[in-house]
Structure 1
């Protein structure tokens, strides 16, 4: 990146000297001669904040349009090596797993534990969020499920986006560029996918709509895993912390790699954006950035000046940046919809035990099969079989569920700390729990209509015990999470285990939605040249399915208009 000057990054945002020192953590103890990190300025035509689905697509499309682009990513670049040891695994956890941001103590000195791993858990208020960190964003650690809603459901969640063009052009384009294809027949027949075959059989026996789900996977690499020429990863259910064999087609290996090959796109890992403002006189954006070292300490401060900025840090990252900019006065014209209409896509978790054909051990991941019900477009429901590594054959089947999620959440700014936290109202259920429970019980009944599980003779007694335990835990006044864990341990046999009482989401959506915070193509209202191109555009739900495909297709659609109308004028 070109060096323009050595001025303080935050000073370039129009702050006074004292405020610059406070915000940048530059204040030093009286009499101290210790020098802090250096400062410089960088100029680029277009800046993309984030390198996940939205950021990678944006960088690729800008490169196609001939636009010099800088991509900033707060996490590391995770290059898969021939040794197959890039990522941690669920069997061997270490500092590569969790992303724990450093915290500034007195005088700007960093304190507390710091890991720059690949998964971050954002506590939130009422609905914790799990999200990826690294070049490739959430696609490094997701299950790879590429699934889209039907027409009636789509029209309800995004009524101002034309279904016809999404169906005919943008969904197919995104699937092709994401390299998403279903599990091949030879792998479906393999013993490592026994659980998938059992799940499909259960769905058919229960009269549910079943399908093999497209996955962003290089199936030839999976075959190499099974042949012993690559480290066992996806074929052994190891994907939640990264895929060490290289079988995952994460966007750093698809869209972003194609963008970098043009020579017009520079990706800067370990660069964390801390502020954003607009210089109206020059019609330029100035972005405050911290460059981190491998241990999470600030190595350098930068101000990046850009003619256009594309916010693509995911729903949480984008909303946090924009809400902070509005509330601190850096971007005061952002409207009241910024930070609102947020949710977790109706995520829920289930476990079935005593499933006849479901195994443990080396079961292939991530998500290969689903059952769906979209008969009511206002209440779509999907259940998916999730392969996870379990050391023994347990007859257990983990299931991921998604239902409709109302856009009831928001991001709140806390003036005392400057933090922006995702907040979910306690009185609102973050998913259609009743619809999910009905489908889960229907699916469970499908396994018993074919053949009994190994514990079938005990099911009646165990079901009665589960009811007794449920009444007991209610009387004990346990927390929802404690109650959920105890029921998971003891309430298993007939209906599976509802884990929705332990609330979280891996699919945050909203915070800067279309036709509210933005126009219908991702342009933030009030600020020419400022865009949102990620999950923040979608209000809370993609209609009971995994959101990646819809996010990708929507960003492709928005960029068609932005690049046609704004290149040479704003970009």
Structure 2
């Protein structure tokens, strides 16, 4: 890497003022924005040149980094979060009901619903809350992206449901024969073994499976990217009891999860062609001078203080910052006039994957404290007359017996939201119409009612004051914004290969497997056709 010169406050203001003038801000506005870039102390500036830059290190970013490296492309992966590096006998990730500053991205309180209150110094923690109108988005932060703190539920939709939500240009047979299996192998997905499911800690999971079967749904063991031998060691007492006590929603300790940092990114770095730059926050995507694009970044410390301004020059950008942040980058670039040639539909066709959560309580039915995780069981009700639904049970690390268990559902949304550019704040903000959730609510409520009638218990919906989703999809979708392989129309060298490609739903299934499989499909074509020409 090359290091740029340190510059004075006046020199930085002149540079920022010139750049701001291109979007109508001017030097005065640049001066007012100085706290956002770490002033009053001036930050040095450094320039980097790479053949390709991947923005984000989650599912799509991991795929992009590995496949480009194996094609011989020197690649930089820019990630705003830190390395976490969970290993056996660790305390890398925080406990859900005992939150500390590791839980939130640069906020002084927990941002995940149902978390107990806490106040702490802001930190580059695991989850960012992107606040919108009518909906907030919970996004992962860290090397490995959302794979660090997701539930790991890996479900492949049926062909019928897949074709209901995905663009016709994405062939299900190809995905099922090639890309879903490749991802399952890379992330080492397997179902929960009998000996673990039959352990007393997994009482609530067995109970949910029995309830699902009594309700006439198809009970299944979902695939998980887990090292089950680590869970066995926890149950024996050889390792601290993290996941086996329900602590997995803020990351899996003891190194038990095959997250993207331990799989795709580890293999990518091993090629010698991939550099991962953690704690680099991309602030702007813009046209380059001697290269097609520049990315203006802040390198921060774990308190969020800017240490350096980094300008990355490249001919190739693959956006994998997740649906919310990829959408915000593109919508701001177009709305500010920085990249007016972006397609008009950037930010649109966005959705929540149709999520809804309930708490089931039955005072005569023990579910135990410290319910064994991760989420291992699902109920498929895909032929229901009220609409297809998947229900699953996320075990909870309750400290005491509550006679309760969480039940979550996914159905297909009936509408879309969009990110819109606000010139007053020079930013993009999500607007979510509440009518877009009507069909999922009807379908999931009906499925939960059927389960309640056969299994008993009271199912109460968990309805936060600020509605939110862990499963953002869309904003740079195939068709209006990108071609079937993630190439952004009329912008050579600019690609999207994350969940932004998918218009709002992955068909009653958790998105991670489909996102990763779609990224594999895109990179197959990009490597075959664009490396050596566009890249």
Give me the TM-score of the superposition, normalised by structure 2.
Answer: 0.90
Report the counterpart of residue 134 of structure 1 in structure 2: 142
- Asked whether the equivalents of residues 415 and 435 of structure 2 are also in contact (C-alpha less than 8 Å), the reply is no
1:192 equivalenced with 2:192 (yes/no): no
Alignment of 1:113-512 (within 5 A): 114-158=122-166, 159-279=168-288, 282-354=290-362, 357-375=365-383, 379-429=387-437, 432-448=440-456, 493-494=457-458, 496-500=459-463, 503-512=467-476
Report the counterpart of residue 105 of structure 1 in structure 2: none
- Asked whether the equivalents of residues 69 and 264 of structure 1 are also in contact (C-alpha less than 8 Å), the reply is yes
Report the counterpart of residue 69 of structure 1 in structure 2: 75
Give me the TM-score of the superposition, normalised by structure 1.
Answer: 0.85
Residue 552 of structure 1: CA displacement? Answer: 0.6
Report the counterpart of residue 101 of structure 2 in structure 1: 95
Q: 1:508-528: per-residue Cα shift (whole Å, max 9, x none)? A: 000000111111110011210
Residue 406 of structure 1: CA displacement? Answer: 3.1
Q: Distance in 1 between matches of 2:14 and 2:500?
A: 26
Match of 1:560 among 504, 524, 532: 524
3-state SS of 1:223 partner: helix
Cα distance 1:9–1:269, how it changes in 2: closer, same or farther (>3 A)?
farther
Residue 498 of structure 1: CA displacement? Answer: 2.0
- Asked whether the equivalents of residues 215 and 368 of structure 1 are also in contact (C-alpha less than 8 Å), the reply is yes
Q: Distance in 2 between matches of 1:289 and 1:217?
A: 34
Match of 2:63 among 57, 62, 69: 57
Q: Distance in 2 between matches of 1:9 and 1:314?
A: 31
Q: How many residues align?
A: 512
Q: Distance in 2 between matches of 1:124 and 1:92?
A: 27
Unaligned runs of 5+ in 1: 103-111, 449-492
Residue 3 of structure 1: CA displacement? Answer: 3.0
Residue 263 of structure 1: CA displacement? Answer: 1.1
Larger radius of gyration: 1
- Asked whether the equivalents of residues 357 and 409 of structure 2 are also in contact (C-alpha less than 8 Å), the reply is yes
1:533 equivalenced with 2:497 (yes/no): yes
Match of 1:550 among 511, 514, 520: 514
Cα distance 1:505–1:156, how it changes in 2: closer, same or farther (>3 A)?
same
Q: Distance in 2 between matches of 1:443 and 1:235?
A: 26
Q: Distance in 2 between matches of 1:560 and 1:346?
A: 30
Cα distance 1:170–1:564, how it changes in 2: closer, same or farther (>3 A)?
same
- Asked whether the equivalents of residues 6 and 41 of structure 1 are also in contact (C-alpha less than 8 Å), the reply is no
Q: CA RMSD in A?
A: 2.4
Cα distance 1:60–1:357, how it changes in 2: closer, same or farther (>3 A)?
farther
3-state SS of 1:129 partner: strand
3-state SS of 2:434 partner: coil
Report the counterpart of residue 42 of structure 2 in structure 1: 36
Cα distance 1:430–1:252, how it changes in 2: closer, same or farther (>3 A)?
farther
Report the counterpart of residue 466 of structure 1 in structure 2: none
